[in-house]
Amino acid sequence: MVAFSKRISMVKPSATLTINARASELKSQGVEVISLAVGQPDLPPPKSVLDGAREAIERVMTKYTPAAGLPEVLDAVCEYYNRFYDAGAKRENVIITNGGKQGLFNLMQILVDPGDEVLIPAPYWLSYPAMVILAGGVPKIVPTDPENNFMTSPSELEKHITEKTKILILNTPSNPTGCHYAQKQFDEICEFALKKGIFIISDEIYDQLIYPPAEPTSASKWFKKYPDKVAIVNGLAKSFAVPGWRIGYVISDSTVIKNLSKLQGQSTSNVCSIAQIAALKGLLGDLSFLEENRKKFLERRNYILKRINSIKGISCPEPMGAFYVFPKVDGLYTDEINNSTKLCEYLLDKAHVALVPGAAFGDDRCIRFSYAVDISVLERAMDQVEKALREL
Ligand code: PLP
């Protein structure tokens, strides 16, 4: 067998694979499995993005575009971000990427040298550590607690800083916790990190899925002040409900963007031209659907939170954004079912509900429920989960 690279051998397979494999097995036996493991919105995309894609096809837009994206699409990202956050972004500050994921991956590739350390507050989106490792870096996990709404702070980060610390990844609202930093709290962390000479990557992919009284938070003002020390990552997957169209973007200093473009130019080249025009029309189109979607998700969040917190042995902080809840369930662990993976396997077998173990996100005390499903589905799922947990 060919010798695989050390890099790929160091990356763990996704912890959701075991659950998905079991779920498929059950489904093939005719069992109806409800999946609350989803990471994408179930709501329809706005008409504007669909019209944009149709228009690109009608215009026969089949050619390569510049690696960083079509100029008018870069301008649309600037207009959108500047409108929401007064980011002061110009065309040369933006690159269109194959989802926020590629933006994050490529940032690690252009910023991280072997041995460089990247601070990642846990629970974290499961791809961050793998991306750091694939760039030759060292993920430095900074634990947080549910009692503290899974928030980190300058004093917590300080404990994990060494002379090799290069980057801090922030993600608000968070996948998997749904917890959200208010702008002031976020600013304190940014200010602290920047003073320490640490580059900030702000993953703002869920920025529009925020529930009142919370408001969106962004690293925009820090980008405006120190463009070469901050990169903002966002995309249309979650807020515009087009995850499969792979439209993300990075906003940063023109030197960062030039390096990202160089890498993209030698690897994947441009994002699909049809998806780019869809993004343009979406970003500049009617955005009233954002508020409608927020209302729908809020109703579901309130429902699932009430159900979860009524189960003995479980507690969950109130998530202020995204479409996940991440309750602490270790109070339910038994001698046999003594971790989040085993509890998820039990709930899949007994309740026929697929969930994601917290271990995948760096916190084995918790499990992740997604509420990107209809409320009637949530109701059935929670009835089944509650019954199975009573029999534990
Ligand atoms: N960041 C977070 C926290 C996510 O949850 C996801 C997707 O699940 C992404 C980034 C990447 O999104 P995409 O590549 O679909 O734009």
**Tell me: the pLDDT tens digits for 347-392?**
999 999 999 999 999 999 999 999 999 999 999 999 999 999 999 8
Q: Where in the chain is CATH 3.40.640.10?
A: 47-284
The mean pLDDT of 193-199, rounded to a whole number, is: 98
CATH code of the region 6-44+289-390: 3.90.1150.10
Question: Cβ of 13: how many Cβ atoms within 10 Å?
Answer: 8
Structure tokens at 167: 């980057």
The mean pLDDT of 60-69, rounded to a whole number, is: 98
- C-alpha 334 – ligand 1 centre gap (Å): 33
Q: Which is the closest atom of ligand 1 to the Cα of 103?
A: 14
Calculate what percentage of the chain has a pLDDT beyond 90: 94
How confident is residue 316, by pLDDT bands cut at 50, 70 and 90?
A: very high
Q: So what CATH class is 47-284?
A: alpha beta
Ligand 1 neighbours by CB, cut-off 6 Å: 39, 99-101, 125, 171, 175, 203, 205, 235, 237, 243, 248
Most informative mutation of 125, 250, 324, 368 for ligand 1 (most atoms within 8 A of CB): 125
- C-alpha 232 – ligand 1 centre gap (Å): 13
Q: Which is the closest atom of ligand 1 to the Cα of 39?
A: 8
Contact predicate 114/137, CB 8 Å: yes
Half-sphere exposure of 37 (CA within 13 A, CB side): 26
| Cα separation, 303 vs 289, whole angstroms | 21
Q: Where in the chain is CATH 3.90.1150.10?
A: 6-44+289-390
Place of tokens 């194959």: 98
pLDDT of 17 strictly over 80: no
- C-alpha 204 – ligand 1 centre gap (Å): 9
Residues near 368 by Cβ (< 8 Å), separated by ≥ 6?
37, 176, 324, 325, 326, 355, 356, 357, 358, 360, 361
